[in-house]
């Protein structure tokens, strides 16, 4: 039950963090006893900072150490005033700029032409046209669509999760970053008039050529599932074909672009947050109007 209390990705991150902490204590000839001495944690934070680890990465390491103490029924030293102030100081001293650019509507309109040119078959072109359009108009995280790790095999979209109708389609997201318990949510995406980027038309064309075999929605002609790495590589090739700076675009650029486009069109903040299924005001970081003005 304790194992199930963590998402697969979180469990993996915590295990990796604890292994790293053990290596640090061994290298520094520090005691490996639990509870951990306050000074050891302070030294570890300083070491991670010198290695250039981001504040968010260091926070994951602290969460892993904190959880281990609580599981063992011990007082949590990461809550100590000194550790909290070290973490606060780390966040203030490190200014990292998220340079990911949004996929704009204009870029989205050019991607089908690029996919026709770079994909080795019509099937692959139709596959990624549908995936890219769905990622944008559904405000989807790529991990909700295709494979990221073997630990999350139950997360990618299955063909039964999509229902295409004459003027709209419904997409059921069974699991997501903000829905670890799998309550699920069904998105309703309307058909739009913009040629080449309508998610309903793109999905209809893809499903017409997709093999009836296999349970996962996005799969290659041979039945193998699409991975996050492949999704990103095809996007990079398409953007390179369009002579765009590929270093600025990542798989998450569709979600950033969707939030930005909605804000430009005057969509309310509440609706943007709801459409993107953000559980906090983190959606504000995805609105990057300055990039497209």
Q: Which segment of 86-95, 96-105, 203-212 scores lowest on mean pLDDT?
A: 96-105
Mean pLDDT over 27-32 rounds to 93
> What is the model's pLDDT at position 148?
80
On the question of pLDDT at 280 being above 90, the answer is no
Q: Binning pLDDT at 50, 70 and 90, where does residue 178 land?
A: low
Q: Binning pLDDT at 50, 70 and 90, where does residue 11 land?
A: confident
Mean pLDDT over 237-248 rounds to 93
Mean pLDDT over 212-232 rounds to 91
State both tokens at 211.
Answer: 């093999």
Positive or negative: CA dihedral 5, 11, 17, 19: positive
Cα–Cα dist 190/25, whole Å:
56
What share of the chain in percent tops pLDDT 70? 94
Nearest Cα neighbor of 108 from 89, 81, 131 is 131
On the question of pLDDT at 51 being above 80, the answer is yes
> What is the model's pLDDT at position 152?
67
Domains, the chain, in order of start with CATH, read: 3-93 (1.10.150.130), 105-291 (1.10.443.10)
Q: 10 Å Cβ neighbour count for 181?
A: 7
State both tokens at 19.
Answer: 């292994």
**62-72 pLDDT, tens digit each:** 999 999 999 99
> What is the model's pLDDT at position 279?
77
pTM confidence score: 0.73
> What is the model's pLDDT at position 26?
95
> What is the model's pLDDT at position 205?
95
Higher pLDDT, 195 or 232: 232
């Amino acid at each position: 039950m304790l194992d199930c209390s963590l998402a697969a990705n979180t469990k993996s991150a915590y295990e990796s963090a604890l292994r790293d902490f053990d290596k640090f204590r061994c290298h520094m000839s520090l005691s490996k006893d639990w509870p951990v001495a306050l000074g050891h944690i302070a030294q570890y934070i300083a070491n991670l900072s010198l290695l250039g680890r981001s504040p968010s990465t260091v926070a994951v390491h602290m969460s892993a150490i904190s959880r281990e103490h609580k599981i063992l029924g011990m007082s949590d030293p990461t809550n100590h005033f000194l550790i909290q102030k070290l973490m606060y100081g780390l966040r203030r001293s490190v200014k990292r700029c998220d340079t990911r650019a949004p996929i704009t509507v204009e870029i989205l309109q050019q991607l089908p032409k690029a996919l026709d040119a770079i994909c080795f078959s019509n099937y692959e072109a139709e596959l990624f046209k549908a995936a890219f359009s769905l990622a944008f108009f559904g405000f989807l995280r790529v991990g909700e669509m295709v494979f990221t790790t073997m630990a999350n095999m139950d997360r990618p979209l299955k063909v039964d999760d999509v229902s295409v109708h004459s003027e709209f389609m419904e997409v059921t997201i069974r699991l997501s970053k903000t829905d670890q318990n799998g309550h699920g949510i069904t998105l309703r995406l309307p058909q739009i008039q913009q040629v080449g980027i309508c998610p309903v038309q793109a999905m209809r064309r893809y499903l017409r050529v997709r093999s009836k075999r296999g349970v996962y929605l996005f799969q290659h002609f041979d039945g193998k599932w699409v991975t996050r790495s492949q999704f990103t590589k095809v996007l990079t090739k398409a953007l390179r074909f369009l002579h765009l700076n590929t270093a600025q675009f990542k798989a998450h650029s569709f979600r950033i672009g969707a939030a930005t486009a909605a804000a430009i069109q005057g969509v309310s903040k509440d609706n943007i947050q709801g459409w993107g299924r953000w559980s906090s005001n983190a959606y504000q970081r995805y609105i990057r109007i300055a990039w497209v003005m």
